[in-house]
């Protein structure tokens, strides 16, 4: 035990010596460094003329090495960047002015695809309960949905714009035109069927809109206006009857003009509108129609003329159709769709413009007749595709055709339309 204590004391003494030596050595080194710095400062004093400048030089040297810190450095400000502006459509100003749109028959439509519009066209329909198709519909559990096949109805509803020929008035008033073989009239409440069919616009430019006289004709205009269903080709005066309906969809503005040549008489049963009296927009003399088409072309991107013309129950194109088609095309029409003959007629290109001479009946009577839905796809560059969708009217039902029956109707259309190509899916192109 004593040896351990002596060893501990010896070690303690040695540590004290070493510590003293370390402190002494450190002081000596600091003293030498201080002397050297003082000597250097003295030399700079002699060279520059005073201690003040030496101190200034030392201070500046320090500043160069360590930049002076600002007492209150500016805080970095966070500036929120404004969101990028949405690209402005060329018709945004019009779409924001509802009063202007109402005054000028302009309607806004949503499209399934951006900057692309699909428009479907059907021929004649009839809602008169004293004729077979409507009488049968009223007996069916699901009404119009049991009268048009589901796949064909889907095509109509899914089109961005669907148009048909409304070949009758909606009214409970009036008397049938004396001496006319067929006169039609539907109850105003039946107009709701149009909405079930996906219809977006109807043509009244035909030879049955005036079947029950002026009162029933005006009731028709009121009925459609109340349900906000656009109509074209008829009005309370010539200005209204001749006015196009415009749709703005996908930043594209489409004009639809409708007129009728039928009946081809100086004093027809179906009264033509005048400056002061109601009626349809007649175009047996096409001068006014061509003027309207020219104006529509100036005010829109694409012009459709839906025209009631031709000879009933024949596929032959008559001389007035031949005469007017190129005039309408040259006036500015981009697509011409015809009806009235109650059967299909040829498709051809006239001066570069597609003309569908007759859509035939769509859902009009009990006869077994080939018919169709025509589909046009339009974008900012014009008509992108035109498709003939075969269908069959039979037993007061209109059905979309497939397989052999579809090919049968397409083959028939090829046979009467020698100037165009129609592929297996019904797409039409100029040959």
- Return the axis-axis angle of helices 319-331 and 287-298, rounded to nearest 10°: 30
Q: How far apart are CA 40 and CA 182, in angstroms?
A: 126
Q: Quote the pLDDT of residue 392.
A: 98
pTM of the model: 0.81
The C-alpha atoms of residue 123 and residue 159 are separated, in whole angstroms, by: 16
> Which pLDDT score is estimated for 4?
40
* pLDDT of 60: 52
Structure tokens, 223? 């009925």
The DSSP call for residue 53 is H
Rounded to whole angstroms, the Cα distance separating 277 from 279 reads 7
β-strands 231-232, 201-203 pairing: parallel
Q: Residue written as tokens 């399934």?
A: 112
**CA 62 to CA 64: how far, in whole Å?**
5
Q: Could you tell me the mean pLDDT of each successive run of 10 residues in the chain, 431 residues long?
A: 42 59 65 63 52 48 47 60 73 96 96 95 98 98 98 98 98 96 97 98 98 98 98 98 97 97 92 98 98 98 98 97 98 98 98 98 97 97 98 98 98 97 98 93
Place of tokens 């450190």: 26
In the block, which residue shows the tokens 């204590």?
5
Q: Is the N-terminal amide bond of 263 cis, ω within 30° of 0? A: yes
The per-residue pLDDT for 219 is: 98
Using alpha carbons only, give the angle 269, 232, 136 rounded to the nearest 5 degrees: 70
Q: Cα separation of 304 and 59, whole Å? A: 88
Residue 65 pLDDT: 44
Torsion angle of C-alpha atoms 187, 192, 198, 204, degrees rounded to 10: 40
Residue matched to tokens 């616009």: 201
- The HSE-up count of residue 335 (CA atoms within 13 Å, CB side) is 26
Q: What residue ranges do the domains of the chain occupy? A: 2-65, 92-430
pLDDT the model gives residue 85 = 66
State residue 266's pLDDT score. Answer: 85
| Beta bridge pairs of residue 107 | 247
Tell me whether residue 269 is exposed, middle or buried, using C-beta atoms within 10 angstroms of its C-beta: 0 to 12, 13 to 18, 19 or more. middle
Which of 206, 144, 180 is CA-nearest to residue 339? Answer: 206
Interatomic CA distance for residues 395 and 140, integer angstroms: 13
**CATH architecture for segment(s) 92-430:** 4-Layer Sandwich (3.60)
For 390, phi then psi, to 5°, come to -65, 145
């Amino acid at each position: 035990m004593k040896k351990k204590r002596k060893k501990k004391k010896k070690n303690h003494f040695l540590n004290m010596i070493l510590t003293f030596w370390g402190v002494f050595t450190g002081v000596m080194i600091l003293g030498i460094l201080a002397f050297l710095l003082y000597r250097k400062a003295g030399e700079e004093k002699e060279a520059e003329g005073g201690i003040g400048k030496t101190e200034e030089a030392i201070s500046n040297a320090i500043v160069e090495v360590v930049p002076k810190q600002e007492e209150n450095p500016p805080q970095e400000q966070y500036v929120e960047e404004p969101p990028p502006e949405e690209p402005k459509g060329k018709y945004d100003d019009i779409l924001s002015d509802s009063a202007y749109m109402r005054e000028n028959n302009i309607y806004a439509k949503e499209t399934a695809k951006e900057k692309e519009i699909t428009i479907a066209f059907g021929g004649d329909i009839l809602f008169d309960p004293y004729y077979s198709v409507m009488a049968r519909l009223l007996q069916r559990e699901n009404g119009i949905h049991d009268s048009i096949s589901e796949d064909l109805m889907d095509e109509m509803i899914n089109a961005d714009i669907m148009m048909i020929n409304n070949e009758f008035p909606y009214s409970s008033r009036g008397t049938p035109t004396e001496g006319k073989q067929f006169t039609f009239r539907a109850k105003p409440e039946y107009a709701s069927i149009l909405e079930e069919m996906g219809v977006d616009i109807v043509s009244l430019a035909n030879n049955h809109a005036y079947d029950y006289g002026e009162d029933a004709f005006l009731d028709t205009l009121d009925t459609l206006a109340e349900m906000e269903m656009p109509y074209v080709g008829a009005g309370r005066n010539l200005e209204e009857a001749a006015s196009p309906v415009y749709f703005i969809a996908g930043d594209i503005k489409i004009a639809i003009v409708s007129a009728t040549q039928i009946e081809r008489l100086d004093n027809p049963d179906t009264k033509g509108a005048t400056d002061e009296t109601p009626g349809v927009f007649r175009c047996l003399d096409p001068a006014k129609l061509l003027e309207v088409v020219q104006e529509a072309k100036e005010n829109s991107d694409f012009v459709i003329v839906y025209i009631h013309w031709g000879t009933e129950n024949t596929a032959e194109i008559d001389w007035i159709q031949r005469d007017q088609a190129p005039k309408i095309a040259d006036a500015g029409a981009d697509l011409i769709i015809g009806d009235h003959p109650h059967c299909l007629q040829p498709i051809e290109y006239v001066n570069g413009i597609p003309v569908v001479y007759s859509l035939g009946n769509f859902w009009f009577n009990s006869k077994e007749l080939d018919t169709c839905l025509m589909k046009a796809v339009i974008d900012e560059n014009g008509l992108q595709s035109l498709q003939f969708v075969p269908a069959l009217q039979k037993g007061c039902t209109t059905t979309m055709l497939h397989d052999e029956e579809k090919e049968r109707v397409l083959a028939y259309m090829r046979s009467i339309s020698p100037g165009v190509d129609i592929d297996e899916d019904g797409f039409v192109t100029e040959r």
